[in-house]
Each structure stands twice: as C-alpha cells, then as structure tokens.
Structure 1
Amino acid sequence: MLAAIGLDEAQESAYRTLVSLGVADVPDLARRLALGEHEMERALRRLEHHGLAAQSSACPRRWVAAPPGVALGPLLTQQRHELEKAELAAALLADDYRAQASEPGVRDLVEVVTGAGAVGRRFLQLRLGATQEVCALVTGKPDVVSGMDHDAGPESTDRGVDYRVVVERDVLLLPTGRGELSAALGRNERIRTVDRVPTKLVIADRSLAMVPLTPRDAEPAALVVRASGLLESLTGLFDAVWREALPLRLSGGGEPVEERPDGPDATDLEILSLLLAGLTDASVAKRLELGLRTVQRRVKRLMELADVTTRLQLGWHAYERGWVAREPR
C-alpha cells in the first residue's frame, strides 16, 4: 500500500513491523520477515532515507519507527505535488499535440503499429483515451490481431463512456465468449450480433480508429487512423453493420440471447419489395449494399414471422399483412 511513496514490499514490511514493535534490532527484524540481515539492513537504510525510521540514540544497534502521522504526511504531500505537476505536464503536451494535429499532413493521418505488444499498448491508449463513445466490430477469430480483442473493463463504463459493439455469432461459440459478453452486457454495454463482420475495428469518439493489418507470415500489425476521409469511411462502415445487427440481451439465467423484433423493419420491407419486383437475392444485396447472407437470413426470418415455408407464400402473406402495397391495376 505504501508503494506510492517509493517503498518496496520488504521496506513496507520492515516499517510495519517496527511500528508494531516500537524498537528492534536487525537480526530480530530479519528473522521475523524471513530476510537476510544484509537485505534487512538495506531496507532500514532506505526507511531512514525517507525519514520513516532511525537508529535508537540509547541503543545504536536497534531501530525505531518514526510516528506514521508525522513521517508519512510530508511524503504523501510531496507525492500529490508530483502528481499535480505530471497532470499539468500532460495537459500542456495534449494542447501542443492538438495544435500540431489541427492541420496534419497526409503522412500523419495514418500510423502503422507493428508487433503484438505495441498493438496491445496502442489499443489500450485508444480505449482509455475515449471520453464519449467506443465503437467496435469483433470477429469470431480472436487471433486476427493480438492485443486488439475487445475488453472494456469496468473503468471505461465507470467513466461514462458509451460502448457499442457488434460481434460475429461465432463469438458465442468461443470457450469464453458467452461469459465475456454477459459481463459486457452487465456493464450496460450495447452489443449486437451479425453472421459476419467485414473486419475487426475500434473507433474512439469518432476521431481515432484502429484496424488490423494481417499480412501472411508477418508479425501482428494495425493501422491507427486519425480524422480523415478514411476515418469517415470506417465510421460509416460501423454504422451500416450496426443497423443490420440484432441486439443482444441477458436472459433470466444471465445468458446472452439475441433480441429478435416482433415485425419486419425498414430494411426487411425494402428486401421484400425488391424480391416481389422480381430481383434475385444477389441483386437485392447489391442494390441495398448488403451481404448476400444477410439478405437470405432476413428472408428466412420473415418466413418464420409469417409462419410460411415457401417464398410464394411469403409474398401472399406480405400483401395480406400490409408489409408491402399492391401495385394498382
């Protein structure tokens, strides 16, 4: 607990023991803490340097602890001052960075990060630096880029950051997938699922994004994208996938389950209208800029809603239920 003022475990244990005993010599302290006498002597000298211990004037070979209220107060005050100075320096650096980045050069808009460790650290910086919203696309292959796996942690939601995450359904099949999704839903993150996401992606405050690079036979790498047309495209990609995904919610047993709407949404109705106009699934997917599997999945769900087994029956029920309008004769 005293590491914040520069004490290691041995030094803190020595001080606590001295406080409880009042006075002790090196061999006694070394025996109580299961340390060598030389190591114990070094720890006591460090405490003396901090003003936390001193050799007894009556018995030079014995040590006494300084009163905690007197000795620790100045150290804590100094530590607070150092922290305030560091916060001021960080704020000044942030101002300098914003001023420099207000008109960034083309080369500064994209940063290539290589190595699993570097990717993980950059991802952590991006996530912890968000103040409003983090948007993420998560694939069912956690090894796509090591270090970029979604894990918000309680500190993110505690800071009021909104999380919107779209995961592939395969994530639910991973050994830890359901548990992690349940924990995320418990933190009030908004999570949706789709059959497949186009890429792993993280966007912080719509001002910074991270997307993986996965060249063959190469170390993990990722692109960090700043405000630019490319960032707007990545944000638009996330928004499009989010609109097509189905929400996840927690069941009564705490399990994540998909929340299916009671009726067709606007996209479903567009698909129906185009199919009834004679377009193929592939043509509908191209026209609406959807994946072919997405169109087929939505048609299958519409058939389930209408309780029919063929597309011909679906068309008839679509007219009867008012999902689409009949063409005037």
Structure 2
Amino acid sequence: MLGAIGLDEGQEAAYRALVAMGAAEVPDLAHRLALPVPQTERALRHLERHGLAAQSTARPGRWVAAPPTVALGALLTQQRHELEQAELAAALLAQEYRAEVTEPAVHDLVEVVTGASAVAHRFHQLQLGAAEEVCALVSSRPQVVTGMENEAEEQAAVRGVAYRVVIEREVLSLPTGIREASTALARGEQVRVTGQVPTRLVIADRSLALVPLTGPGAEPAALVVHASGLMESLTGLFEAVWREALPLRLGASGAPQESGGVPDSTDIEILTLLLAGMTDSSVAKHLELGLRTVQRRVKNLMDVAGVTTRLQLGWYACERGWVAR
C-alpha cells in the first residue's frame, strides 16, 4: 500500500505496528513483527529519515510514530509535485522532439531490439504507454512473453485500454490456454480464434508496433515500427485477420448439468470450442468433462435445434445467438 512513497513491506509493517502501539522499544517492536532486532532498527531509521517515526525525548530508546495525516500527507504532496515536474519535462521533450523531427528519416521509423530481456521490456513498455487500444496476433509458439497474461496487460486493462486479440487455435490446446483466454475475456478483452496467424504482432494506438524477427531457436529479436506507411500496413494486416477470425466466448465451467431447451454456460463453451476447431476429446480434457458427456450434450443441442449434422448446429447456434458470429 505504501510502496509508492518508498517503503518496502518490512518498513510499512513497522510503521503500521508503531501506529497501532503508539510507542514501543525496539525489542518489543521486533517481537511483534517477528523480525531480528537489527533489521527492525534499520526499518525504524528509514522511517525516521522519511519523517514517519522519531525517538522519544522523554524516554530514550523508545520510538513513536508520526501522525499519519501529517507525515503521509507531506510525502504524498512531495510525490505529486515530483510527478507534475516529470509530466512537464515529458511534455517539453515531446514538443522539442516534434519540432526537430517533423520529417523523420527512414532509419528513425524502425528500430531493432535484440535479446530476450530487451524484447520483453519493449513489449511491456509498448502496452504501458498505450492510451486507447492494443491489438495483438498471438501464436502458439511465443518466444519471450508466454501466453496472453502479463502484468503490463493487466495494468493497461485497469486504465481502460481496449484489447483486441486474435489467437491461434492451438493456443487453446496449451496447458493454460483456456484459463488465460478466460482471464482475458473476464477483463473485458475481445478475443478471436483463427487457424494460424501470419506473424506475432502487437500494435499500440495504431502508432507503435512490435514484430518478431527471428524464428524458434534463434536469439530473440524484434522490429519496433513507428507511425509510417509500414505501420499502416501492419494495422491493415491485423484488421484483415480480425475480420476472418471467430469470436471466442467462454463461460465459467462448473459441474456438468444436463441441458434442457436452452443451452447453459457449459453448452456454450463446448459449442464455442468446437467451432474454434477443437476435437471432442480436447474439449472434454480442457473443460474437465467426460468425452461421453461432451458428445451427449452436443447430441442434446442437435435435438433442440432440430438438426442432423454439426455443421447445421453451428449455423443454428449463430442464428439464435448462442455463440457470437
């Protein structure tokens, strides 16, 4: 909670304990925190430098907590001021950059990033800098960032950044594929499925893109593309793949329930995964259902729809809105 003002977990715990106790000697505080006395002393010295604690003048060796409203308020005010100064500096630098690079040279429109850590860093940086939308093509063979889950994605989603993601069908067959897809959908992301994506790709706000340059086994490298004709081509490529991909819709899988006249959430998941190209056995495995249960549910849905083939069932399901078109 207080990490934003420069306190680690131990220092925050020491301050909270000191506030609760009012005042305490180092051994007593160390015992309450279950920490060694030297480590507790270091935490108190750090709190003292930040104005959050002080040694009692009346009783030497005893520490008292500074009032939170005063001490924390001062630190927060200082941090807000520093952030405002940083924002002002960033705005001035951006203005200077635009003035100097009105017509950027060709070599300034792209940059090559080499090394797993460097590529992963730019991947996260691209998402953290997004303000409106992130578009991505995800293959079943990621090199640097595995799956669709990463901290930057979660942070961007919390800020209200929209996500449109196209994943390869094989991603759903990976051990954590369906779980990660469900998590992404729960965050409000739009996810679609296709047989194979032409390339791995991430685009932020249609102005910055990251494209891998190397194949499996080679040292990871990626091309960072800035706003340009190439950027427009990459955006057009994503939109073409997006239009042809099948929307993914997953519910919360619970205990198997027999289907009546209306499909339940498990039926919807089964239909969606089958339409995405997964086999009955793969669907059963990932939904933790028996193969016979999956097949029985599909047969029940075919009876409800009054159809004799799965192709007809897929068409009927789309027409009735059971699954997204």
Give the CA deviation at 1:44. 2.5
Higher alpha-carbon Rg: 1
- Equivalent pairs counted in the alignment come to 263
State the secondary structure of the residue aligned to 1:64. strand
1:79 to 1:220, Cα distance in 2 relative to 1, 3 A: same
> Where in structure 2 are there 5+ consecutive unaligned residues?
252-264, 276-309, 313-325
Give the CA deviation at 1:101. 4.4
Q: In structure 1, what residue type is equivalent to 2:126?
A: L
Query: What is the RMSD computed on CA atoms of the aligned residues?
Result: 2.9
Aligned runs of 1:46-57 on 2, under 5 Å? Answer: 46-57=46-57
The whole-number CA distance in structure 2 between the counterparts of 1:6 and 1:304 is 60
The whole-number CA distance in structure 2 between the counterparts of 1:160 and 1:181 is 18
Give the CA deviation at 1:173. 1.0
The whole-number CA distance in structure 2 between the counterparts of 1:104 and 1:131 is 23
The whole-number CA distance in structure 2 between the counterparts of 1:101 and 1:151 is 35
Equivalent residue number for residue 136 of structure 1: 136
1:36 to 1:100, Cα distance in 2 relative to 1, 3 A: same
**Is 1:146 equivalent to 2:160 in the alignment?**
no
TM-score (norm 2): 0.70
Give the CA deviation at 1:8. 3.0
1:181 to 1:100, Cα distance in 2 relative to 1, 3 A: farther
Give the CA deviation at 1:211. 0.8
The whole-number CA distance in structure 2 between the counterparts of 1:162 and 1:55 is 50
Give the CA deviation at 1:17. 2.6
Is contact 2:148–2:184 with CA below 8 Å preserved after alignment?
no
The whole-number CA distance in structure 2 between the counterparts of 1:17 and 1:158 is 31
Is contact 2:148–2:180 with CA below 8 Å preserved after alignment?
no
The whole-number CA distance in structure 2 between the counterparts of 1:197 and 1:157 is 23
TM-score (norm 1): 0.70
Equivalent residue number for residue 106 of structure 1: 106
1:80 to 1:219, Cα distance in 2 relative to 1, 3 A: same
Q: In structure 2, what residue type is equivalent to 1:146?
A: V
Equivalent residue number for residue 227 of structure 1: 227
> Where in structure 1 are there 5+ consecutive unaligned residues?
261-302, 306-329
Identity of aligned pairs, percent? Answer: 66
**Is 1:96 equivalent to 2:93 in the alignment?**
no
Q: In structure 1, what residue type is equivalent to 2:56?
A: S
Equivalent residue number for residue 255 of structure 1: 269
**Is 1:77 equivalent to 2:77 in the alignment?**
yes
Aligned runs of 1:195-214 on 2, under 5 Å? Answer: 195-214=195-214
Give the CA deviation at 1:213. 1.2
Give the CA deviation at 1:304. 4.8
The whole-number CA distance in structure 2 between the counterparts of 1:255 and 1:98 is 49
Q: In structure 2, what residue type is equivalent to 1:89?
A: A
Question: Could you report, residue by residue, the CA deviation over 1:63-92 in whole angstroms, capped at 9, with x for unpaired residues?
Answer: 222222333222222122122222222333
